[in-house]
Amino acid sequence: MTARPASPGAGNGRVLLQRRRRYGDTVFRAAMLTAAGLVVVVLAAMAVFLVTQSLPALRHYGPLSFLGSDRWAPSDATPAGTSPNPYGIVQFIYGTVLTSVIGLLIAVPMSVGIGLFITGIAPAWLRRPLSYVVDLLAAIPSVVFGFWGIFALIPALQPVVSFLTGTLGKIPVIGGVFAGPFFGLSYFTAGIILAIMVLPIVTALCREIFATTPADEKEAALALGMTRWEMLRTAVLPRSRAGIIGASILGLGRAFGETIAVTMVIGNNVLSITKSIFSTGATMASVIANEFTEATEPFHLDSLFVVAMWLLIISLIVNVAGKLAVRRIRGDLA
C-alpha cells in the first residue's frame, strides 16, 4: 500500500508495486475528473430540465407570447384557449430589473465609499474589524431580512416615502414614478432590502480592487502635494472604474436571483406593471416562490417553469458578463 521504495533485490515486487500504484493513480484521477464532469453535467441538466418542463406551455401559447403581456392571470387559463396568453411575464422582468436597479443605485456608491474608507482612510487597526463587520451583513439569512423588512424597515420608511410622494410625486411627467399611496409593500422596499443584501459583496470586490493600486502611485500623488481625498480621486478611483463596473454587474446578478426577502416585501401584485415605485409588484423569483406549490390551473406550473427558464438565462448572462469584467481587471493587474 504505502509507497515504500523497493530494495534493489526485489525486482518482481517492485514491478508489481509500480503497476498497482499506476492502477491506483488512474482510478484516483478518473474519480476526480468524474467529479469535475458532474459539475458540467449539473448545469447542462438544469437547462435541459427547465426547458423540458416549460415545453408544454411554450408549445401551447407560443414561446414569445409570454413576453408580449404584463398580465399574469392563472384563473383565466383554460385547457383549450391559446390566445391571449394569460401568463404574461413582462411585469416580472420589469420588477426584477427595477428592484435590482434601485438596490444598486443605493449600494454601489455606498460600497465605493466604504471601500475607499477601509483601504485609504481608516487607520490600520480598524481595517480588519470594519471589513469583518460589513461581511457580517452577508451572513444574515434572506428570510430574516424579509421579516425585519416587514416589521422594522417599512414603518421606518413611511415618513421618508410620504416626504418623497409629497415633493417628487408632485412634479409633472416623472411625478407618477413617485406617486403615492404607500402601504409598505413595494418595489422601493424590496430595492432597499436588496441594497443591504448586495452591499457586502460589492464592498468586498471594491476593497480588493482598490487594494491593487500601486503604493508608488499613491505616494507620488501625495508627494505632489495632493490631499488624501485628491489622492483617492486621482490615483485610486480612475484605475478602478472598470473594476467597479464589474463588481456592480456581479451585484446585479445577485440581486436578480434574490427570492425570499423580496417575496416578503414586494406585495406580489402579478396583474400589471405599476408605474409608481411605491406600489406593489412582483419579480420573476417572487412569483415562482409564491405560486409554485399552489399552481393548479392549466399550464400554471409549466408557465412558472418558463419564468424560471428566463430567470436562469438572464442571471447567467449578467453573471458571466460581470465575471469577465472583474477577471479582466484582475488579469491586467496581476
Partner 1 sequence: MATSMLRRHPGQQQPGYSPSAARRTRDRVMTIVLAVVVAIAVAVLVWVLAYVAAQGFKYLSPAFFTHTPPGNPASYGGGYANGIVGSLIIVGIAALISVPVGIAAAVAIIEYGGRLAAAASFITDVLVGVPTIVTGAFIYALWVIHFGFSGLAGSIALALVMLPLVIRATAEMLRLVPVHLREASAALGVSRARTIVSVVLPTASSGIITGVFLAVARAMGETAPLLLTALGDQQFMQVHPTQRMSTLSLQIFTDAISGFQAAQARAWAGALTLIIIVSLFAISARLISRRATITRS
Measured from the CB atom, the residue of 180 and 333 that comes closer to partner 1 is 333
Count of beta carbons in the 10 Å neighbourhood of residue 213: 21
**Alpha carbon distance 286, 302 (integer Å):** 16
Output the CA torsion sign for 116, 117, 118, 120: positive
Distance in angstroms (rounded) separating the CA atoms of residues 218 and 116: 13
Minimum distance from residue 162 beta carbon to partner 1 (Å): 21
Nearer to partner 1, 136 or 168 (CB): 136
Dist CA 33 CA 40 (whole Å): 11
CB of 171 to partner 1, least distance (A): 27
Q: Give which of 233, 201, 218, 241 is closest to 116, Cα–Cα.
A: 233
Q: Are 236 and 208 in contact (CB under 8 A)?
A: no
How near is the Cβ of 175 to partner 1 at its closest, in Å?
28
Q: Which is nearer to partner 1, 222 or 271 (CB)?
A: 222
Is the CB of 131 or the CB of 165 nearer to partner 1?
A: 131
Query: Nearer to partner 1 by C-beta: 107 or 179?
Result: 107
Q: How far is the CB of 276 from partner 1 (least distance, A)?
A: 23
The nearer residue to partner 1, 119 or 276, going by C-beta atoms, is 119
The partner residues of 87 in beta bridges, in order of sequence, read 72
**Taking CA 320 as the corner, what is the angle to CA 319 and CA 323, rounded to the nearest 5 degrees?**
85
C-alpha cell at 305: 417553469
To partner 1, the closest distance from the beta carbon of 157 in angstroms equals 13
Helices and strands, number each (H, E), in the chain: 12, 0
- Cβ proximity of 239 and 198 under 8 Å: no
- In angstroms, give the least distance from the CB of 27 to partner 1: 8
CB of 119 to partner 1, least distance (A): 11
Phi-psi region of 299 (alpha: psi -120 to 50; beta: other; left: phi over 0): left
Q: Which is nearer to partner 1, 180 or 330 (CB)?
A: 330
